[in-house]
């Protein structure tokens, strides 16, 4: 690209707003253009900030690594977007990484150039401050009020059934979303807490737009604009404009209108119009055509739950893998098994961890089986399942598009009236995640007991120390990770009760309590994902065994007498156990003292490998 073309391009970039023509030319003359392949890095987390990057063509993802080494995408940037502007503010290293997802052309401005042109730098810096301010407000929009969405101070006026209202000019949501925010300041948890739900809503709206265009109900340009707007949402854009509380009255209508308005206003921009010029693309007449909240909302919920279950499976499988590795690591360590908190019979520490792995493996099939119930949807049923205001061909066609967009085996329910009022799939899946949480809690209880002490408890294992445990007792370290998993389980169990009550409280042709069902399910999944990751990386992987102590507990346990039953009989074994309790002597010592068995025979019977599984009795 030539210098003149650089100038024509960058003068439309917000970063250079307010610069004179000479200023634009000066910047353009100091730009380097670079062609990048898909997967190339613009910068990496921890690297020094040296450049501002402007995307000329292509696409760039901004991401960071979680404490567990996973990549967490933060945003997706395309033509006209810029990154690295913080390099003008301070010299701290990059806190994120930027990588191309497509072949990309970027324009690069070296920060040192800005430092050499003070007047330009001041103007650009004021633009940077405004951009960073807006980005920070978007990041914090989960906890701030509606005023945080006002950036420029400009506004637009919209109207609905109840009258006229002013909205911030920058807002992609509309008047009905604003009313919902005012009405439902309930939990503080807004739709943008769960991007997977917004993505699912975008998929539904995209499928509807394709279907309505195919049926000749909307024009090609409008359909294409709606589809592109939905693709923006799927790319992670505009999430901060989904501001409605997850818990809301109206059976999800506010959620549906939030997505209708955001998609419509983004589509208007794509069509070359201003936000709010709904005569060209209307939230209801175009984006919501042939739809009702009562088929859009449950369908999107189900798609989002299936996608969330896939991520939950990844975390669960990683935890199972760590437990299996510990089972192999500890397979040779003999320890005392316990029932009712009393000594029972010997086993290996490896068998304990293998049992944890197996019980969690069972949950993979159970969760997937119940998630599959979500694949039956009621799209085209509209208000109560009769299909009023939908084209006769709409249901069949929209299901086909949904299958293509989502990659899921989605099916149209046999009876749409029944499907519109039924919440059975949510009840079943909630029960499945409750079962998983109960198992995780039981395992956490075990870890706390087995690591108790260290001097006056069981102390068979050591959990990795994560933080000091007391403000008054020096040296105390608590099992904080299993403790937090216990608490997550309590919350999930409570959420399952909420789902059951909300499902029971539906009346006639619709269950209006679906929002609290949705909030409960997504909260449970999110907490379980985070909890299992935490348990895996901050606890399970770092567990060590006190091997000698485990063996000493076995050798000193009266429970050894159980292994002697087949050889000396139950009555003799009972008397032996009683005498051992009263005298303080060991079972081994008493057997030899009473000449019940020879030392060779006794050693053979009590050999660890002979006590941890079925064994043929030999004379």
pLDDT at position 148 over 50 = no
pLDDT, position 146: 42
User: What is the mean predicted confidence (pLDDT) over 45-57?
Assistant: 87
Specify the DSSP class assigned to residue 393. Answer: T
User: What is the mean predicted confidence (pLDDT) over 57-74?
Assistant: 82
Question: Which of 62-66, 210-214, 552-556, 557-561 has the highest average model confidence (pLDDT)?
Answer: 210-214
From 144-148, 441-445, 541-545, the region with the lowest mean pLDDT: 144-148
3-state secondary structure of 264: helix
**Is the torsion defined by CA of 228, 234, 240, 243 positive or negative?**
positive
| Nearest C-alpha neighbor of 29 from the set 115, 154, 113, 118 | 113
pLDDT at position 563 over 70 = yes
Residues 6 or more apart whose CB falls under 8 angstroms from that of 69 comprise none
Q: Is 381 exposed, middle or buried (0-12, 13-18, 19+ CB in 10 A)?
A: buried
pLDDT confidence of 323, banded at 50, 70, 90?
very high
Cβ pair 564, 605 in contact under 8 A: yes
**Is the torsion defined by CA of 542, 548, 550, 551 positive or negative?**
positive
pLDDT confidence of 152, banded at 50, 70, 90?
very low
User: What is the mean predicted confidence (pLDDT) over 296-322?
Assistant: 97
> Bridge-partner residues for 575, per DSSP?
none
Residues 451-461 pLDDT 10s: 999 889 999 99
Specify the DSSP class assigned to residue 147. Answer: G
pTM, two decimal places: 0.82
What whole-number percentage of the chain has pLDDT above 90?
Answer: 60
> Bridge-partner residues for 206, per DSSP?
none
pLDDT at position 527 over 70 = yes
pLDDT confidence of 327, banded at 50, 70, 90?
very high
> Bridge-partner residues for 342, per DSSP?
339
User: What is the mean predicted confidence (pLDDT) over 495-521?
Assistant: 95
pLDDT confidence of 308, banded at 50, 70, 90?
very high
Count each helix (H run) and each strand (E run) in the chain, helices first: 21, 16
pLDDT, position 143: 40
3-state secondary structure of 566: helix
pLDDT at position 616 over 80 = no
Identify the H or E element spanning 251.
Answer: none
Which of the pair, 305 or 583, is modelled with greater confidence?
A: 305
Specify the DSSP class assigned to residue 342. Answer: E
Question: In angstroms, how far is CA 301 from the centroid of its own chain?
Answer: 15
pLDDT confidence of 131, banded at 50, 70, 90?
low
Q: Which residue has the tokens 């409750």?
A: 434
pLDDT at position 142 over 50 = no
Q: Which residue has the tokens 């099916």?
A: 411
Say whether the peptide bond before residue 442 is cis (omega within 30 degrees of 0). Answer: no
How many angstroms separate the Cα of 452 from the Cα of each of 9, 36, 158, 497?
66, 55, 63, 32
Q: How far apart are CA 369 and CA 362, in angstroms?
A: 11
Q: Is 290 exposed, middle or buried (0-12, 13-18, 19+ CB in 10 A)?
A: buried
Say whether the peptide bond before residue 611 is cis (omega within 30 degrees of 0). Answer: no
Which DSSP string corresponds to 26-67? HHHTTEEEEEE-TT-EEE-TTSPP-EEEEEEES-EEEEEE-T
- State the Rg of the chain over Cα: 32
Cβ pair 58, 102 in contact under 8 A: yes
From 105-114, 262-271, 394-403, 491-500, the region with the lowest mean pLDDT: 105-114
Count how many residues are written for the chain: 619
Q: Where are the alpha helices (DSSP H) in 36-159?
A: 111-116, 118-139
pLDDT, position 271: 95
Q: How far apart are CA 217 and CA 349, in angstroms?
A: 66
pLDDT at position 311 over 80 = yes
How many angstroms separate the Cα of 43 from the Cα of each of 37, 131, 276, 512?
14, 20, 38, 48
Residues 366-424 pLDDT 10s: 999 999 999 999 999 999 999 999 999 999 999 999 999 999 999 999 999 999 999 99
pLDDT at position 448 over 90 = yes
3-state secondary structure of 257: helix
| Catalytic machinery residues | 470
pLDDT at position 141 over 50 = no
Which of the pair, 505 or 83, is modelled with greater confidence?
A: 505
Which of the pair, 579 or 408, is modelled with greater confidence?
A: 408
Q: How far apart are CA 257 and CA 176, in angstroms?
A: 7
Domains of the chain: 3-140 (2.60.120.10), 167-289 (1.10.275.10), 296-547 (1.20.200.10), 556-611 (1.10.40.30)
pLDDT, position 533: 95
Cβ pair 171, 185 in contact under 8 A: no
Average pLDDT, the chain: 89
User: What is the mean predicted confidence (pLDDT) over 204-224?
Assistant: 97
């Amino acid at each position: 690209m030539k210098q003149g073309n650089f100038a024509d391009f960058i003068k439309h970039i917000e970063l250079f707003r307010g610069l004179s023509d000479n200023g634009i030319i000066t910047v353009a003359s100091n730009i380097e253009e670079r062609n990048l392949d898909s997967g190339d890095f613009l910068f990496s987390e921890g690297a020094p900030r040296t450049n501002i990057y402007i995307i000329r063509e292509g696409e760039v993802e901004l991401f960071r690594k979680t404490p567990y080494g996973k990549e967490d995408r933060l945003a997706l940037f395309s033509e006209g977007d810029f990154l690295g502007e913080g390099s003008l503010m301070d010299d701290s290293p990059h806190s994120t990484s930027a990588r191309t997802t497509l072949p990309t052309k970027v324009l690069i401005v070296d920060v040192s150039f800005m430092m050499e042109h003070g007047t330009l730098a001041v103007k650009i810096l004021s633009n940077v401050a405004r951009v960073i301010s807006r980005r920070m407000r978007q990041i914090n929009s989960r906890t701030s009020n509606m005023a945080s969405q006002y950036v420029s101070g400009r506004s637009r006026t919209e109207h609905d059934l109840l009258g006229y209202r002013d909205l911030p000019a920058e807002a992609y949501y509309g008047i009905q979303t604003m009313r919902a925010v005012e009405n439902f300041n309930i939990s503080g948890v807004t739709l943008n807490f769960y991007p997977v739900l917004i993505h699912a809503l975008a998929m539904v709206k995209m499928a509807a737009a394709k279907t309505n265009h195919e049926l000749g109900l909307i024009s090609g340009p409008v359909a294409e604009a709606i589809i592109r707007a939905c693709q923006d949402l799927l790319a992670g854009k505009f999430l901060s404009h989904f501001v409605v509380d997850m818990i809301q009255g109206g059976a999800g209508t506010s959620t549906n209108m939030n997505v209708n308005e955001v998609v419509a206003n983004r589509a208007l921009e794509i069509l070359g119009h201003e936000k709010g010029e709904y005569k060209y693309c209307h939230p209801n007449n175009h984006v919501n055509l042939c739809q009702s909240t009562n088929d859009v909302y449950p369908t999107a919920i189900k798609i989002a739950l299936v996608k969330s279950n896939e991520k939950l499976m990844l975390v669960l499988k990683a935890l199972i893998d760590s437990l299996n590795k510990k089972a192999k690591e500890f397979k040779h360590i003999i320890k005392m098994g316990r029932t009712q908190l009393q000594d029972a019979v010997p086993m290996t520490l490896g068998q304990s961890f293998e049992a944890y792995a197996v019980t969690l493996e069972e949950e993979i099939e159970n969760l997937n089986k119940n998630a599959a119930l979500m694949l039956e949807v009621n799209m085209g049923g509209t208000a109560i399942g009769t299909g009023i205001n939908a084209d006769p061909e709409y249901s069949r066609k929209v299901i086909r598009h949904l299958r293509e967009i989502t990659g899921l085996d989605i099916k149209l329910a046999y009876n749409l009236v029944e499907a519109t009022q039924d919440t059975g799939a949510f009840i079943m899946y909630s029960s499945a995640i409750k079962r998983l949480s109960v198992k995780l809690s039981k395992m956490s209880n075990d870890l706390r007991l087995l690591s108790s002490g260290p001097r006056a408890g069981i102390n068979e294992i050591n959990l990795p120390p994560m933080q000091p445990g007391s403000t008054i007792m020096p040296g105390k370290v608590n099992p904080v990770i299993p403790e937090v998993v216990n608490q997550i389980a309590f919350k999930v169990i409570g959420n399952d009760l909420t789902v059951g009550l909300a499902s029971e409280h539906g009346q006639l042709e619709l269950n209006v309590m679906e929002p609290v069902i949705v909030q409960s399910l997504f909260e449970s999944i999110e907490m379980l994902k985070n909890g299992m990751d935490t348990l895996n990386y901050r606890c399970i992987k770092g567990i060590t065994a006190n091997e000698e102590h485990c063996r000493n507990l076995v050798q000193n346990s009266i429970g050894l007498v159980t292994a002697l039953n087949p050889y000396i009989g139950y009555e003799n074994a009972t008397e032996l156990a009683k005498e051992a309790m009263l005298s303080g002597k060991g079972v081994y010592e008493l057997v030899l003292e009473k000449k019940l068995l020879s030392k060779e025979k006794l050693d053979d019977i009590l050999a660890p490998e002979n006590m941890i599984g079925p064994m043929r009795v030999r004379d």
